[in-house]
Structure 1
Amino acid sequence: MVNTAAPAPPAPAPGTLFPDADTAWFRVLKIQTKLHQRAGEDPSRRFDDLFNLVCDPAFLALAWDRVRGNKGARTAGVDGQTAFYVESVRGREVFLAELRAELKAGVFSPVPVRERMIPKTGGKLRRLGIPTVRDRVVQAALKLVLEPIFEADFKPCSYGFRPRRRTQDAIAEIHFLASAPRNYEWVLEADIEACFDNIDHTALLGRVRRRVGDKRVLGLVKAFCKAGILSEHGAAARALQDTSAGTPQGGILSPLLANIALSALDEHFTSAW
């Protein structure tokens, strides 16, 4: 007889609070699937107990794995520490345990991001905001919790910064719409200037509250939006800039927050046409 049951998750190593990446992935995926299903079944549902998931050892362990495996792992925030430094000097277990304790005690507070200017075509510069490794892990944990909920709301016409959706998928959709028997003839191309920098915090948090009732999670999202930027460019170098609007491009959570904000635009166009 062929066993068609799903494989059991590997057992965590003895004596550790934070599981390895494979074990963490099994637990996180199971919870994400439930969150997505519940959000899809009830479009008006608000989720009230999400903070405990952000602090869950499996979510923090997988968040660390995502940060550690990212190409920006060798880039430091304002504290000068890279993911490799944290791993080699402090150790994964100690680092995550301290971070979890801060979160559960309600004393965690993000620090300003480090400004980094990168060249764009045409000689212009794009501003990135590089969070500390500590803040990146919390952002990654928040994304693991929030993304499956809001994915249930995003329209099929949205492709940017979404899981399992690529540029090639958007191109294929355009070809599909332009071919017979649909034969659409017009394409509207537009650009939202400095989109990440200009997102209105009040409007963004209002849309997040439509799905999230947990005040601790809302507080974390707001704190990351308001953390500020430590400038490294021009006469204002090393000056702290307030972030009264926008979500710094370069943060792990920023693409999801941008999609939440821009989903209002998708809803407007899909309802009108």
Structure 2
Amino acid sequence: MALHAKAKAEAGYRFYALYDKIYREDVLAHAYAQCRSNRGAPGVDRQDFAEVEAYGAQKWLGELALALRQETYRPDPIRRVFIPKANGKLRPLGISTLRDRVCMTAAMLVLEPIFEADLPPEQYAYRAGRNAQQAAIEVDERLHRGQTDVVDADLADYFGSIPHADLMLSLARRIVDRRVLHLIRMWLECPVEETDDRGRQKRTTEARDSRRGIPQGSPISPLLANVYMRRFVLAWKKLGLQRSLGSRIVTYADDLVILCKRGKAEEALLKLREIMSKLKLTVNEEKTRICKVPEGEFDFLGFTFGRMYSATTGQARWA
């Protein structure tokens, strides 16, 4: 709470002594308990919580703390699995080892209060006290206020496209501690291990080689995704588009809609493309469209918004 209060009170303050907080005994213990409650599959070393507790959780955490303190800690490769999506396609999921998950969670516990102070109200994902239902309620309220021209946007592989250098600049705006930045860079550049069609293990260094992407499934990825999406929201406001287009952005991770006053959605879509291009992100043109409510409808976070019909006139309306 002290970190959050400091960050909230001083927008330009940069934090310099954070690394030692990550390996503090109470922080690592909290991180371990959080990871244990989330369960999750083992990483490349196949170590699970039962094995850790048979060895002695306190001893195991002590060894992790020592490695961090002596700066000898190195993350293991990420085990990649593919999860079926509703549309029949597969979504890649990165599974870190328990040791790395605990370390990432400890870092998240220290860093999240700082960056939470900076996140704008347009962002709803992965934040305490905010959820998808609240995002949907805001969309509903905006439609009722007359912001009925909507850009229903989709980003192509948002998590896998985030450029490391630009993300690190966003983090360094608040963090001076080079050891924390080095820790995050190591996680970003982790090799990935997966099983091919013949059952053979294959290891790649695509993230390090391309200098892009954050692994979906790691404890710190939601925070990093929010920090980078903040750049888009701030750029939109800095260009005066909220006022000139009568627009409001509502985002939930990489789900994004822009609600505009009548006749402004086309310009909003052009500006979306321009800003995302500067952020080195790509708008998925096949899935991005303009919807004019109540004539049309769109889906957002599992909710459908749009066409309803008057029982008396039979005309489409928004209600």
Alignment of 1:254 with 2:221, yes or no, is yes
Paired residue type of 2:229? L
Which residue of structure 2 lines up, in the alignment, with residue 37 of structure 1? 5
Structure 2 unaligned spans of 5+: 243-319
Alignment of 1:159 with 2:134, yes or no, is no
Which residue of structure 2 lines up, in the alignment, with residue 19 of structure 1? none
Could you list the per-position Cα deviations for residues 47-99 of structure 1 after superposition, in whole angstroms to 9, with x for gaps in the alignment? 00001110111110100010010041xx1000011123212x21210110000
Which residue of structure 1 lines up, in the alignment, with residue 25 of structure 2? 57
**Which has more strand, going by share of residues?**
2
Structure-2 separation of matches of 1:267 and 1:236: 46
Paired residue type of 1:250? G
1:188 to 141, 151, 161: 151
Which residue of structure 2 lines up, in the alignment, with residue 134 of structure 1? 99
What RMSD in Å do the two structures reach over aligned CA positions?
1.3
Relative distance call for 1:68 and 1:43 in structure 2 (3 A) is same
Shift of 1:233: 3.5
Give yes or no for contact 1:117–1:233 (8 Å, CA) kept in 2.
Answer: no
Give yes or no for contact 1:139–1:253 (8 Å, CA) kept in 2.
Answer: yes
2:166 to 185, 189, 203: 203
Give yes or no for contact 2:196–2:202 (8 Å, CA) kept in 1.
Answer: no
Structure-1 separation of matches of 2:204 and 2:197: 13
Could you list the per-position Cα deviations for residues 169-194 of structure 1 after superposition, in whole angstroms to 9, with x for gaps in the alignment? 10111122222xx3221222111111
Which residue of structure 2 lines up, in the alignment, with residue 150 of structure 1? 115
Which residue of structure 1 lines up, in the alignment, with residue 84 of structure 2? 119
Paired residue type of 1:156? P
Structure-2 separation of matches of 1:184 and 1:162: 25
Which residue of structure 2 lines up, in the alignment, with residue 100 of structure 1? 65
Shift of 1:262: 1.2
Structure-2 separation of matches of 1:108 and 1:239: 24
Paired residue type of 2:94? G
Shift of 1:235: 6.0
Partner SS, residue 45 of structure 1: coil
Give yes or no for contact 2:164–2:188 (8 Å, CA) kept in 1.
Answer: yes
**Which has more helix, going by share of residues?**
1
Paired residue type of 1:154? L
Shift of 1:128: 0.6
Partner SS, residue 104 of structure 2: helix
Paired residue type of 2:188? C
Highest CA radius of gyration, 1 or 2? 2
Give yes or no for contact 1:143–1:253 (8 Å, CA) kept in 2.
Answer: yes
Which residue of structure 2 lines up, in the alignment, with residue 4 of structure 1? none
Which residue of structure 1 lines up, in the alignment, with residue 194 of structure 2? 231
Within-5 A mapping of 1:164-183: 164-179=129-144, 182-183=145-146
Equivalent pairs: percent with the same residue? Answer: 36
Structure-1 separation of matches of 2:197 and 2:117: 43
TM-score (norm 1): 0.83
Structure-2 separation of matches of 1:232 and 1:193: 25
Relative distance call for 1:96 and 1:167 in structure 2 (3 A) is same
TM-score (norm 2): 0.72
Structure-2 separation of matches of 1:122 and 1:159: 24
Paired residue type of 1:65? A
Partner SS, residue 230 of structure 1: strand
